[in-house]
Amino acid sequence: MYTSKITGLGHYVPENVVTNDDLSKLMDTNDAWIQERTGIQERRHIKKGDGNSTSVMGVKAATIALEEAKLKPDDIDMIVFATLSPDMYFPGGGVEVQEMMNMRTIPALDVRNQCSGFVYAMSVADQFVKTGMYKNILVIGSENHSGGLDFTTRGRSVSVIFGDGAGAAVVSRSDDKGENGILSTHLHSEGKHKDELSLQGPSTEYWVPEIIEKNPQEDIPYYPYMNGQFVFKHAIVRFTEVIHEGLKANGLSVEDIDMLIPHQANLRISQFIQQKLKLSDDQVFNNIQKYGNTTAASIPIALSEAHKAGKIKKGDLVVLAAFGSGFTWGSVIVRW
């Protein structure tokens, strides 16, 4: 078995900043209401005509990650692309990235695990690298939420939360048999709660004719639905469980954590987990205040920012953890 290491990181967010005050002009909300419930102050949204899309942002983040890893597109053996908002219903974003970056005929795999998407994608990459099948894998998390949100008062509880952006990581094979690299990954799901955070249409069960005929006054299933309190209560339990699971698997404890990067779902969730684990502010990285919840992109954006800011050093124990729709959750334990 080989060791897999993160050798390059990159992220990209659109230039268009959307503040809470901007949203208050579209719906019955205000800055204090949003910050109190989510901690979010602003987010980035794709602006029509700026040339961005889920795949385009993925390429921009990937280009930076490849430069940091000192690799060229031809050095990549596989793409794992995590998103809930692909440019097209099909094919997926992975093949779009492959085409845009003029890569060889390598495999391109799309992961549909929403907020846990990047953690699941990293787990896939880790297994392919550790077993020796591939040497360099490009992992991308990218989302265009703004293209599918309800920016009216009816949709405010969801629409104020989400932002657009992309993050990428290069996972590479290392012959180093030391303790550095991805130590382990841990994945879970609980499908009985699938409806508590979901987007049920458009789908093959609810397609264009049904959408056209839908009474505008009825609940509209082609906008996201979230049972906020229910999700919050489950998230804080599963986050804690899967972090402890990863640490235990490697003979580690909470005291060994140098940096925890949680999925940026809600600042209140991150703060609760921080308090429960008794971690200092220097041991947890949050950027939801600036970007909102970018779902599959949130962990790679935060990881890239933290690394570039010098908050992650060689030898540090870094823990990535996510919880989201499905319900799905997971963790990645990394010795940097």
DSSP letters of 183-236? EEEEEEE-GGGGGGEE---SBTTB-HHHHHHS-TTS--TTS-EE-HHHHHHHHH
Which listed residue (145, 186, 293, 307) is catalytic?
A: 293
Provide CB contacts within 8 A for 275, sequence distance 6+. Answer: none
- Minimum mean pLDDT among 19-23, 132-136, 177-181, 272-276: which range? 177-181
Structural fold of domain 3-174: Peroxisomal Thiolase; Chain A, domain 1 (3.40.47)
Residue ranges per structural domain of the chain: 3-174, 181-335
Strand-pair partners of 259: 318
Tokens of 271: 């703060």
Q: Does domain 181-335 have CATH number 3.40.47.10?
A: yes
3-state secondary structure of 261: strand
Which listed residue (11, 45, 115, 234) is catalytic?
A: 115
Radius of gyration of the chain (CA): 19
Same fold, 3-174 and 181-335: yes
Which listed residue (11, 234, 263, 307) is catalytic?
A: 263
Q: Is 102 known to be catalytic?
A: no
- Per-residue pLDDT band for 175 (boundaries 50, 70, 90) equals confident
Taken as a whole, the chain contains a residue count of 336
Mean pLDDT taken over the chain: 94
Among 74, 72, 117, 71, residue whose Cα is nearest residue 93: 117
- Per-residue pLDDT band for 218 (boundaries 50, 70, 90) equals low
Q: Is 244 known to be catalytic?
A: no
Q: Is 250 known to be catalytic?
A: no
3-state secondary structure of 158: helix
pLDDT computed for residue 219 by the predictor: 67
| Whether the Cβ atoms of residue 118 and residue 299 lie closer than 8 Å to each other | yes
Q: pLDDT for 241-268, tens place per residue? A: 999 999 999 999 999 999 999 999 999 9
Per-residue CA distances from 19 to 11, 25, 31, 68, 157 (Å): 21, 10, 8, 31, 15
- Dihedral (CA of 263, 25, 149, 139) sign: negative
